[in-house]
Amino acid sequence: MLKNRIIPCLDVKNGRVVKGINFVELKDAGDPVEQAKIYSDGGADEICFLDITASNENRETIVDIVRKTAKECFVPLTVGGGVRSIQNITDLLLAGADKVSINTAAVKNVDFVKEASKKFGSQCIVVAIDAKQVSENKWEVFTHGGRNKTGIDAVDFAKKVEENGAGEILLTSMDKDGTKSGYDVDLLKTITNSTNIPVIASGGVGTLDHLYDGIVKGGASAVLAASIFHYGEYKIKDAKEYLNSKNVSVRL
């Protein structure tokens, strides 16, 4: 039976982890490579890096981090943030990333998703959709970390990226992100019901129960979380044991 995945996400800015794990055993709390290794040793099913570096000039930094991490972590590694060109993807994959997550560039031009999945295979193309509720049962796609409204319906867009070869959808609720009040389960349910590719739930996790909701109520194939793991509130193992105790199948 296919297991539900737990994916810790590390926000990386100019080569340093922002909101990192606060473990005493850490030699360097800002080192993304060391943190990724802790997660991977702790049973993370995948690792996700989100590069939130504002400028374009620093792209080499994330590539370098990926290169170092990939030599130490032997679970899938997804990298997102600022992926805009085939060259960006090539650089990340050659450095050892297994998947890239495309956000704004996919909204701007869905053909980019098609081109990328044709060139590299759907298995490594994740499309990150940031959605905000606009009315009852209606969500809109936003870009630039939730600042820019696009007028595009989230469900339509999810279907469109699937048609264009995306292998997975990383779905973040902009309403819930950072609130610790749980995933937007209705949004998740709507998107998982209208697409046939795996959906990764993101945005809003504050408790282990929220992970359960994302999988069981929302229908997500994987759950992504940042802060509950970073601050040491829970370890990956805690999350897995909790889910297992509630009959959600995970890799223990």
Q: Rounded distance, CA 23 to CA 232, Å? A: 7
Cβ 162 to another protein shortest distance, Å: 10
Cβ 103 to another protein shortest distance, Å: 19
**Side chain identity at 196, as an amino acid letter?**
N
Out of 53, 61, 122, 133, which residue is the one contacting another protein (CB under 8 A)?
122
Near another protein by CB under 8 A, which window of 13-21, 122-130, 180-188, 239-247? 122-130
Phi, psi of 176 (to 5 degrees): -95, -25
Nearer to another protein, 125 or 228 (CB): 125
Q: Rounded distance, CA 63 to CA 94, Å? A: 9
Helix, strand, or coil (residue 223): strand
Q: Which of 102, 101, 98 is nearest to 75 (CA)?
A: 98
Near another protein by CB under 8 A, which window of 11-19, 121-129, 144-152, 177-185? 121-129
If one asks whether residue 245 binds another protein (CB under 8 A), the answer comes out as: no
Nearer to another protein, 174 or 188 (CB): 188
Out of 33, 79, 107, 124, which residue is the one contacting another protein (CB under 8 A)?
124
Between the CA of residue 109 and those of 19, 102, 160, 171, 184, what are the distances in Å? 31, 11, 11, 18, 26
Residue 81: both structure tokens together: 């943030």
Q: By rule CB under 8 A, what count of residues binds another protein?
A: 31
If one asks whether residue 5 binds another protein (CB under 8 A), the answer comes out as: yes
* Torsion sign across C-alpha atoms 60, 32, 10, 239: positive
Contact 59/88 with Cβ under 8 angstroms? yes
If one asks whether residue 247 binds another protein (CB under 8 A), the answer comes out as: no
**What is the crossing angle of helices 32-41 and 59-70, to 10°?**
40
Cβ 251 to another protein shortest distance, Å: 4
Which residues inside 162-201 make contact with another protein, applying CB under 8 A? 167-168, 196-198
Cβ 98 to another protein shortest distance, Å: 6
**Contact letters (x/-) for another protein, 44-73, by CB under 8 A?**
-x------------------------xx--
User: CA 247 from chain center: how many Å?
Assistant: 24
Q: Rounded distance, CA 147 to CA 190, Å? A: 23
**Contact letters (x/-) for another protein, 9-48, by CB under 8 A?**
-------------------------------x----x---
Enzyme catalytic residues? 11, 130
- 42: number of Cβ within 10 Å: 17
Contact residues for another protein, defined by CB under 8 A = 1-5, 40, 45, 70-71, 74-76, 93-98, 120-124, 167-168, 196-198, 221-222, 251
